[in-house]
Structure 1
Amino acid sequence: MLVGAAAATIAVAGVREIAWLVAPVMLALVVVVALMPVQRWLLRHHVPRWAAATVLLVLVWGVLLGLGSLLVIAIAQFAVLLPDYAPQFAVLLDDTVRRLDEAGLSSTQISELVDRFDYGQLVGVATGLLARVTDTATTLVLLLSAMVFLAIESGGFGRRLALVAEERPHLPIALGLFARGTRSYLLVSTVFGAIVAVGDTVALAFLDVPMPVLWGLLSFITNYVPNIGFVLGVIPPALLGLLGGGWPEFWAIIVVYALLNFVVQTLIQPRFVGDSVGLSMTVTFLALLFWGWVLGALGALLAIPLTLLLKALLVDVDPRGHWLDALLREEPRPPRTSRARKRAHDRRAALASVRSLHPHWPSRRGSPD
């Protein structure tokens, strides 16, 4: 046990040291896994292998560059808009100090802090964030060049797994479970993210916030970050609403975002995510913290897929690790969607295959599938 814990600690430390390499590669890999059915469909319809690989490569690049471009544009526009609101910010700050003073809460320290505050610092934060995102995007583009080979050779990946299965029969099964779980998670997140984005865009347009469509797209992207994506997506429009319309508009934006997030992303989406990936909300949040610490911002974005990969390798296909499954998944209940039922069926079939290869492993009773 101690040796295993020490090895895991060393492995995590090593991954954290090369997070600049691991995170972009894992992002590209997850996108390839998500879009792999497109290539398989083309191959089934007798499209040449090179053409199917080219289509997959174009889709991968299109998705990654599209999402990255939207993020860069959102931050850039935010940085461009902020200087225009400098007079409104000064008025808002003076009004806030006056209200605090009337309420008897003002103090010399607060007054000095307000006097020293430079609005340009806020613009500098947005500009610095843009520079960091641009640097990350540049690194991502360079590393995605290696994904050309992955896309080209992905058509023969099944044959390679068949060869691997001769020596490590559980590995292809685990990777299959990971791929199906990742696709289900991304599908659910995309559908509900689009619903929230449309609602946010309509609300922002009604409140006359500048560029509502852009902030709606930003909320769509941040939806892929579990638990805290709502907070990341609401900051720019809420701040613009505060500077342009004062506190009433600020709180209106916060309330709209919070209601949409609570209803869709807190009450509805987690149930479908739990059915599709077999992870509880608590595990999802802890995964966000862990992978964000290990891999940074991209780690937070990839928290669910990376957790699914570890779960598939260490829990799903190893009966000796099944006791962990009860701690990771939602409360046992019958699957409520066709995708969830199919995932449960695939998982039971995979476990049966593994047990047939390792009859000495203990069987598990009372599976929550």
Structure 2
Amino acid sequence: MSESTNVGASPQHTPEPGEHLLPAEYAAARMSTDDQPMGRPGKPFDRRSPFFFGMFGAAGVAVTYGVILLLDTARPILILIGLAVFLAVGLEPAVKFLVRRRLPRWASVVIVLVVILAIIGGFLAAAIPALVSQGSSLVKSIPIWVQQANDHHSLLGRINDQFGLETKIQALLKTSSSTIANGLVGAGVAVFGAVSDTLIVLVLTAYFLADMPRIRRLAYRLFPHSRRPRAILIGDDIADKVGGYVLGNLVISVIAGALTFGWLLAFGVPYAFLLSIMVALLDLVPVVGSTIAGVVVALVCLTVSLPVAVGTVAFFVVYRLLEDYLLVPRIIGRAVEVPALVTVVAVLVGGALLGVLGALVAIPVAAALQLLLREVWLPRQDRA
């Protein structure tokens, strides 16, 4: 019985290697046609499946985290690039002015850069000798100030008696030599870094200024064709605001430095040229720059007399009002059109994020955001 059953059963077949792919290969040969050599695409994967949802979610988190780390690592150089773009956009109106006078663009860019380098060179040529001479004068004045500090009847002596300046200075001078050496090395590194950063910004500004038309075309091509005309109008308006702000701010800073130099020279305040340079540089920072400069200058004026210091405070108050209500509206206000409250808030936020550089670029950035809000966001909200 068992033998008859075994005779009727077929023996077990072991498949040859590759035999499992034969049906798929026959099907692939039938699917390949002249129109579709790779066959018709199959059904897409279900992206709503838990596997794909988790995989793409994890990949998105990883990419975002990597981008954040990359931006944080490259933050110093990105700040320099942003400053160079800001300066290039600010100098673009000067280049356009020369181009409209039928000069080639390369010649216009060279002229603008040569003028900038000449101004920087002239500034250094005038500032370095003054800094050296007035620095040596400062060193020679230290014994006189020490003598006045010990005189209880002088103004400096009364200030010393009230605040204990001599004790604090002596404690500062007793600092260990190693700490002073480390401080000198750190100061040297900081100066070298500042010089190298300045050269990088100047070189990048030159490249951006030379390629500004190409950069402009590339930036506008990133927008859809139907939106390009409006993007061009808004983008050019933002560039004009930045250019007007940069040039206007430079003019106002020069006026602040010149008026301060005249005032200090009239009353015989020492280090007049050095202090006027400081006022011009700090006045580039809106809202708070001239105020800080006025405090420093008034403290130096105390070495002359109390009435001169009080008069200097009054001078800076009057100049502040003149700058806020006459110079800024006429020179910058028409180009930027940023309300006073927005200006103060933008400067405070920019200073908190990027320091002096953030405060410097805060107003044109606020003007750009205000324009986008008025022309893009609010009309969409009204139509919603």
Tell me the CA shift for residue 20 of structure 1: 2.5
Matched residues in 2 for 1:79 and 1:202: separation? Answer: 20
The residue number in structure 2 matching 1:253 is 312
- Matched-pair contact (CA < 8 Å) for 2:285–2:356: no
In structure 2, runs of 5+ residues without a counterpart are 1-65
The residue number in structure 2 matching 1:336 is none
Tell me the CA shift for residue 141 of structure 1: 0.7
Give the letter aligned to residue 174 of structure 1: I
Q: Deviations over 1:146-166 (max 9, x none)?
A: 333322212444543553454
Matched residues in 1 for 2:308 and 2:202: separation? Answer: 42
Answer with 161-170 or 248-257: which moved more: 161-170
Give the letter aligned to residue 116 of structure 1: A
- Matched-pair contact (CA < 8 Å) for 1:67–1:221: no
Tell me the CA shift for residue 229 of structure 1: 1.2
How is 1:155-304 mapped onto 2 (pairs within 5 angstroms)? 155-161=213-219, 163-167=221-225, 169=228, 170-234=230-294, 237-243=297-303, 245-261=304-320, 263-272=321-330, 273-304=332-363
- Matched-pair contact (CA < 8 Å) for 1:234–1:254: yes
- Matched-pair contact (CA < 8 Å) for 1:227–1:285: yes
Give the letter aligned to residue 207 of structure 1: F
Q: Quick check: which has more Rg, 1 or 2?
A: 2
Matched residues in 1 for 2:166 and 2:308: separation? Answer: 26
Q: Deviations over 1:260-302 (max 9, x none)?
A: 22x2123334544444322222222222222222222222222
Tell me the CA shift for residue 237 of structure 1: 3.8
The residue number in structure 2 matching 1:3 is none
Matched residues in 1 for 2:271 and 2:232: separation? Answer: 46
Tell me: CA distance 1:16–1:231, structure 2 relative to 1, closer, same or farther (3 Å).
farther
Identity of aligned residues (%): 19
Matched residues in 2 for 1:119 and 1:241: separation? Answer: 28
Tell me the CA shift for residue 206 of structure 1: 0.8
Tell me: CA distance 1:284–1:277, structure 2 relative to 1, closer, same or farther (3 Å).
same
Answer with 272-281 or 28-37: which moved more: 272-281
Matched residues in 1 for 2:306 and 2:342: separation? Answer: 36
How is 1:338-353 mapped onto 2 (pairs within 5 angstroms)? none
Matched residues in 2 for 1:69 and 1:287: separation? Answer: 35
- Matched-pair contact (CA < 8 Å) for 2:244–2:335: yes
- Matched-pair contact (CA < 8 Å) for 1:173–1:317: no
Give the letter aligned to residue 147 of structure 1: T
- Matched-pair contact (CA < 8 Å) for 1:287–1:303: yes
Tell me: CA distance 1:293–1:46, structure 2 relative to 1, closer, same or farther (3 Å).
same
Tell me: CA distance 1:119–1:70, structure 2 relative to 1, closer, same or farther (3 Å).
farther
The residue number in structure 2 matching 1:43 is 99
The residue number in structure 2 matching 1:340 is none
Matched residues in 2 for 1:178 and 1:194: separation? Answer: 25
The residue number in structure 2 matching 1:326 is none
TM-score of the two chains, using structure 1 as the length reference: 0.65
Matched residues in 2 for 1:24 and 1:68: separation? Answer: 22
Q: CA RMSD in A?
A: 4.4
SS of structure 1 residue aligned to 2:302: helix
In structure 1, runs of 5+ residues without a counterpart are 1-9, 323-354, 356-360, 365-369
Matched residues in 1 for 2:82 and 2:302: separation? Answer: 38
Q: Determine which of 116, 122, 134 is the counterpart of 2:171.
A: 116
- Matched-pair contact (CA < 8 Å) for 2:127–2:274: no
Tell me: CA distance 1:76–1:173, structure 2 relative to 1, closer, same or farther (3 Å).
farther
The residue number in structure 2 matching 1:352 is none
- Matched-pair contact (CA < 8 Å) for 2:252–2:327: yes
SS of structure 2 residue aligned to 1:142: helix
The residue number in structure 2 matching 1:136 is 194
Matched residues in 2 for 1:27 and 1:255: separation? Answer: 35
Check if 1:29 corresponds to 2:29: no
SS of structure 2 residue aligned to 1:279: coil
TM-score of the two chains, using structure 2 as the length reference: 0.63
Answer with 234-243 or 292-301: which moved more: 234-243
Give the letter aligned to residue 315 of structure 1: L
Matched residues in 1 for 2:100 and 2:284: separation? Answer: 31
